[in-house]
């Protein structure tokens, strides 16, 4: 058993695929390297297994594998593992607290490799699936020994979801001692306060045969609520400019105000002060036609949709883990358990679905509304007007507040052991559950709100109109009238009447079991032939629902963030095998190995399907290794995609497949009004199928000990990807030749559409290709000059994305090189990191540069004048100092030079929107 100080501080896979830095950065240094540190595991130690079921040294795997060691997990004081991995160039940031367009992720922290979606990256914990769809918020960072990142298809080894790659979190199961740490952080602007605590304890017993570890961490982040304190986040939008358009900042509503804007009649252009008096609307530069266009630039009275969305959302999380193991002969029996809680609680949009925002209908105010002053009523009467239209953004009254909570509980039991001449086996069973709650507070109850707005005077009092009319059947004694004129004039009683909290609840369950065995069957002229065999099974179930009262009464706006209610589940039984066959081994270091893997999966919903992988390595001389793989991988449909509650809508549809139909049959109707449209899950879905090709090389020159470099080409093609198109788009896709879309449409004898199945379907395809590069160099300074203390470590990674195409069956969209306003378009051609670390017995210092290539805002906007976004480089530094053998102080500064994000619209998955951020902390070890 050993303490942290005995750990390997910087582990890499020499055969790793991730990246070398963008070319310009690499010119500033001699080549960096992809090699283990001098304190890391040796080349013969079998520490890397994620790319294969056969345990092999990471140097020899045909599948590119990157290892993130403890040093890199520490760098930047990131609040969870996800944000550490998001710095890897082959992983695209998606759902994080700093997504500035309203984060309702309910405490999730997924991984999205290659930009193909987080559901196509498989996340494992010690080689096992865990409940929560790869949510890294559930894993205590202080217990992680390393993270292995496989960049390539691996379904034959690990099953469904391993399309873009696999992330395997390896926990430190041998820790011995007690470690307690804490840290606090704050931005250079005095906001974004964050604090965290962590602790772990490990001990051996029974003469080292038993081992117990327990640990956990707590993090709470206040977020950055006021987005106006950050540059380029103040509602950028597009405005006409010459023959094209231009992206500018400070674009606001031109037809609504916070206090209310009169948009018709004699008082048009007047807005209400908070005391109910009128003044002229102080508009900015109008964008668009008409007296009250939807957009304007600037303006003293300007407000915009994103005023209330945080730049970084508040969150807190607690994660714990414990493990007990005991050796009996050659077997180790173990049991572990975890508990985690992740909470997101943040302001959301104001309810813009009422009052005229975004071109939606204005409110109509009657001229006799008793909340209007006598002077205003007199002016309306003099003009003979009985009502006027009214534009108002109700975010002072209907400011939505989102709260999302996820609680995870999981337990597992298993045994690992050896027998015979080096054969190893393992078996396990695990059960996990995630309970989720979502709430949208301050949601508008539609009927009640309309009742409150319709205020009248009766008996000398202002009351709701429904209680003063001649129809007693519509009376509501709870109704309280609303004064909509001027901000913050709604009474607490009125707000309580027409607002409520929408709620959704869900439970996800995962049971999994498996067993495997591996070992050398026999030896050939080139080495031992190694075989791995195994079987796995899992059962997934999901139940989710919404609160019936609020769903029936509330504005649909708030409901949009909630997932569709789901009830269902499936099971899968699998068998797999893998073979390593050495073909050639010569005295001059020439080696050639072949490997193959296959898996058969039998799904209760769609039946059986095969996945496979073939690969090989060729060491032509001692310093150079060539490698290649080809694989067939799958992603099975999720429970939600299969069993989300189906809904039926009967209404009009615009048939886009009309060419020639009217000529063929005069009775054909291109715009039928009673089309039945089905939406929701689809139990007939089948797994997506992908094919991955990877070709690469690693170079570790014997004349420069500690240096290594690699480059790998990848290509992934996914067919039958799952998506949903609405009815009109399905007819358009059918017209463009998609037989899958045509199969979803039912027509009568005249050719007129009568029914559309617009639920989830295997209709889309994805394709991506590019290059991963990595280089690293590790050396003791004593090798440079006698007596120099410490060591240096340099690592560079880069990814070049040549192509990233999404084809929904309706359109084919190329996103590589677009870095604009949505997650889909957050795909720079180049991303890279360059880090350097100095370490001696008592002091350490890190510096890192994170590079994001420039590109198009959106290549489909051909007339956008400023469609180019410049590159960004962020610099982070960190240092630690050992006061004595037990006590250490540390600090980090992220985005040292306070680089601001580019002018994009609302998404910030790529860019730092918080600015310079300082973290300090301390740790004590016993």
Residues 512-531 pLDDT 10s: 999 999 999 999 988 899 99
Q: Are strands 121-125 and 165-171 parallel, antiparallel or unpaired?
A: parallel
Mean pLDDT for 824-829 is: 81
Residue carrying structure tokens 């604090």: 195
Mean pLDDT for 644-648 is: 85
In a domain, 152, yes or no: no
Give tens-digit pLDDT for 764-791.
Answer: 999 999 999 999 999 988 877 777 888 9
Of residues 662 and 743, more confidence is placed in 743
Residue carrying structure tokens 């079991």: 513
In a domain, 283, yes or no: yes
Predicted confidence (pLDDT) at residue 424 exceeds the cutoff of 80: yes
The neighbouring-strand residues paired with 591 are: 585, 619
pLDDT at position 822, please? 62
In whole angstroms, how large is the CA radius of gyration of the chain?
31
Give tens-digit pLDDT for 546-565.
Answer: 887 766 776 766 665 667 78
> With contact defined as beta carbons under 8 Å apart, do 804 and 768 qualify?
yes
In a domain, 280, yes or no: yes
Predicted confidence (pLDDT) at residue 131 exceeds the cutoff of 80: yes
Domain of 271, in residue numbers: 227-312+348-402+440-503
pTM of this structure: 0.87
CB neighbour list of residue 787: distance below 8 Å, 6 or more residues apart: none
pLDDT at position 190, please? 94
Predicted confidence (pLDDT) at residue 25 exceeds the cutoff of 50: no
Q: How many domains does the chain have?
A: 1
Among candidates 531, 504, 128, which has minimal Cα distance to 334? 128
pLDDT at position 221, please? 92
In a domain, 202, yes or no: no
In a domain, 456, yes or no: yes
In a domain, 398, yes or no: yes
558 backbone dihedrals φ, ψ, rounded to 5°:
-70, -30
Catalogue the long-range contacts made by 741-749 (C-beta closer than 8 Å, 24 or more residues apart): 741/809, 741/810, 745/657, 749/665
pLDDT at position 23, please? 31
Distances (CA, A) of 93 to 62, 65, 88, 97, 110: 27, 19, 9, 11, 9
Find the Cα–Cα–Cα–Cα dihedral 887, 341, 333, 327, rounded to 10°. 10
In a domain, 726, yes or no: no
Rounded to whole angstroms, how far apart are CA atoms 801 and 830? 7
Mean pLDDT for 730-738 is: 84
What percentage of residues in the chain have a pLDDT greater than 70?
Answer: 89
Rounded to whole angstroms, how far apart are CA atoms 831 and 851? 6
What percentage of residues in the chain have a pLDDT greater than 90?
Answer: 50
Give tens-digit pLDDT for 266-293.
Answer: 999 999 998 899 999 988 877 766 767 7
Rounded to whole angstroms, how far apart are CA atoms 273 and 808? 49
Q: What's the whole-number average pLDDT of the chain?
A: 85
Among candidates 43, 62, 45, 58, which has minimal Cα distance to 582? 62
In a domain, 608, yes or no: no
Give tens-digit pLDDT for 38-76.
Answer: 333 433 344 445 667 776 554 467 888 888 887 777 766
């Amino acid at each position: 058993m050993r303490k942290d100080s005995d750990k390997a501080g910087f582990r890499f896979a020499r055969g790793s695929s991730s990246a070398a830095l963008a070319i310009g950065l690499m010119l500033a240094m001699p080549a960096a390297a992809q090699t283990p540190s001098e304190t890391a595991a040796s080349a013969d130690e079998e520490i890397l297994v994620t790319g294969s079921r056969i345990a092999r040294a990471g140097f020899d795997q045909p599948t590119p594998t990157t290892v993130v060691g403890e040093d890199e997990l520490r760098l930047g004081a990131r609040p969870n593992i996800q944000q550490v991995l998001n710095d890897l160039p082959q992983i695209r940031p998606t759902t994080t607290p700093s997504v500035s367009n309203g984060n309702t992720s309910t405490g999730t922290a997924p991984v999205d490799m290659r930009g193909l979606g987080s559901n196509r990256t498989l996340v494992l914990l010690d080689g096992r699936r865990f409940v929560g769809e790869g949510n890294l918020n559930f894993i205590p960072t202080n217990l992680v020994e390393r993270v292995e990142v496989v960049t390539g298809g691996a379904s034959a080894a690990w099953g469904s979801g391993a399309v873009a790659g696999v992330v395997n979190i390896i926990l430190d199961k041998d820790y011995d001692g007690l470690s307690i740490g804490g840290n606090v952080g704050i931005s250079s602007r005095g906001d974004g306060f964050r604090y965290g605590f962590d602790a772990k304890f490990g001990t051996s017993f029974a003469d080292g045969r038993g081992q117990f570890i327990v640990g956990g961490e707590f993090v709470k982040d206040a977020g950055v609520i006021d987005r106006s304190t950050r540059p380029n986040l103040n509602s950028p939008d597009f405005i006409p400019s010459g023959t094209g358009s231009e992206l500018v900042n400070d674009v606001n509503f031109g037809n609504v105000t916070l206090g209310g804007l009169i948009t018709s009649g004699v008082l048009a252009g007047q807005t209400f002060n908070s005391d109910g008096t009128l003044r002229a609307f102080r508009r900015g530069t109008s964008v668009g036609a008409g007296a009250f266009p939807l957009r304007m630039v600037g303006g003293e009275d300007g407000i915009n949709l994103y005023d209330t969305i945080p730049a970084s959302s508040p969150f807190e999380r607690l994660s714990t883990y414990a493990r007990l193991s005991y050796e009996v002969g050659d077997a180790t029996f173990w049991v572990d358990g975890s508990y985690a809680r992740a909470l997101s609680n943040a302001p959301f949009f104001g309810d813009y679905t009422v009052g005229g925002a975004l071109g939606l209908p204005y409110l109509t105010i009657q001229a006799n509304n008793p909340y209007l002053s006598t002077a205003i009523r007199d002016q309306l009467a003099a003009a003979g007007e009985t009502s006027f239209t009214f534009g108002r953004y109700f975010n002072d009254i209907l400011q939505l507040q989102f709260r999302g909570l996820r609680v995870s509980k999981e337990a597992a039991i298993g045994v690992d052991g050896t027998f015979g001449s080096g054969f190893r086996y393992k078996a396990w069973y695990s059960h996990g559950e995630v309970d989720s709650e979502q709430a949208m507070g301050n949601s508008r109850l539609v009927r009640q709100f309309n009742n409150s707005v319709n205020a009248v005077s009766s008996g000398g009092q202002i009351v709701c109109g429904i209680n003063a009319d001649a129809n007693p059947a519509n009376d509501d004694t709870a109704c309280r009238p609303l004064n909509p004129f001027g901000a913050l004039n709604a009474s607490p009683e009125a707000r309580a009447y027409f607002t409520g909290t929408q709620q959704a609840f869900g439970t996800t369950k995962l049971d999994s079991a498996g067993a495997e065995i591996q070992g050398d069957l026999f030896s050939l002229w080139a080495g031992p032939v190694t075989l791995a065999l195994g079987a796995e099974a899992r059962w997934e179930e999901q139940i989710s629902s919404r609160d019936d009262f609020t769903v029936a009464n509330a504005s649909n706006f708030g409901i949009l963030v909630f997932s569709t209610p789901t009830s269902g589940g499936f099971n899968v039984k699998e068998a797999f095998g893998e073979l390593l066959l050495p073909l050639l081994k010569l005295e001059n270091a020439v080696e050639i190995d072949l490997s193959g893997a296959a898996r058969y999966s039998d799904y209760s919903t769609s039946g059986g399907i095969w996945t496979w992988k073939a690969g090989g390595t060729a060491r032509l001389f001692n310093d150079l290794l060539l490698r290649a793989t080809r694989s067939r991988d799958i992603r099975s449909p999720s429970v939600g995609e299969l069993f989300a509650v189906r809904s039926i809508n009967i209404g009009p549809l615009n048939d886009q497949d009309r060419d020639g139909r009217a000529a063929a049959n005069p009775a054909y109707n291109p715009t039928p009004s009673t089309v039945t449209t089905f939406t929701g899950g689809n139990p007939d879905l089948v797994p997506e199928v992908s094919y991955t090709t990877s070709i690469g090389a690693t170079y570790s020159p014997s004349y420069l000990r500690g240096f290594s470099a690699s480059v790998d080409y990848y290509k992934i093609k996914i067919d039958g990807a799952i998506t949903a198109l609405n009815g009109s788009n399905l007819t358009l896709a059918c017209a463009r030749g998609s037989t899958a879309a045509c199969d979803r449409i039912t027509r009568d004898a005249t050719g007129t559409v009568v029914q559309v199945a617009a639920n989830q379907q295997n209709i889309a395809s994805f394709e991506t290709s590019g290059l991963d590069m990595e280089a690293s160099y590790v050396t003791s300074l004593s090798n440079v000059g006698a007596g120099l203390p410490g060591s240096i470590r340099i690592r560079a990674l880069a990814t070049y994305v040549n192509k990233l195409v999404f084809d929904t069956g309706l359109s084919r969209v190329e996103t590589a090189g677009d870095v604009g306003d949505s997650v889909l378009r957050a795909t720079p051609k180049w991303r890279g990191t360059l880090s350097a670390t100095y370490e001696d017995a008592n002091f350490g210092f890190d510096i890192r540069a994170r590079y994001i290539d420039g590109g198009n805002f959106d290549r489909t906007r051909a007339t956008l004048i400023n469609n180019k976004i410049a590159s960004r480089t962020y610099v982070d530094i960190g240092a630690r100092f050992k006061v004595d053998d037990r006590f250490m102080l540390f600090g980090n500064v992220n985005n040292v030079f306070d680089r601001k994000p580019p002018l994009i619209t609302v998404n910030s998955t790529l860019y730092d929107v918080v600015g310079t951020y300082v973290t300090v902390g301390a740790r004590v070890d016993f």
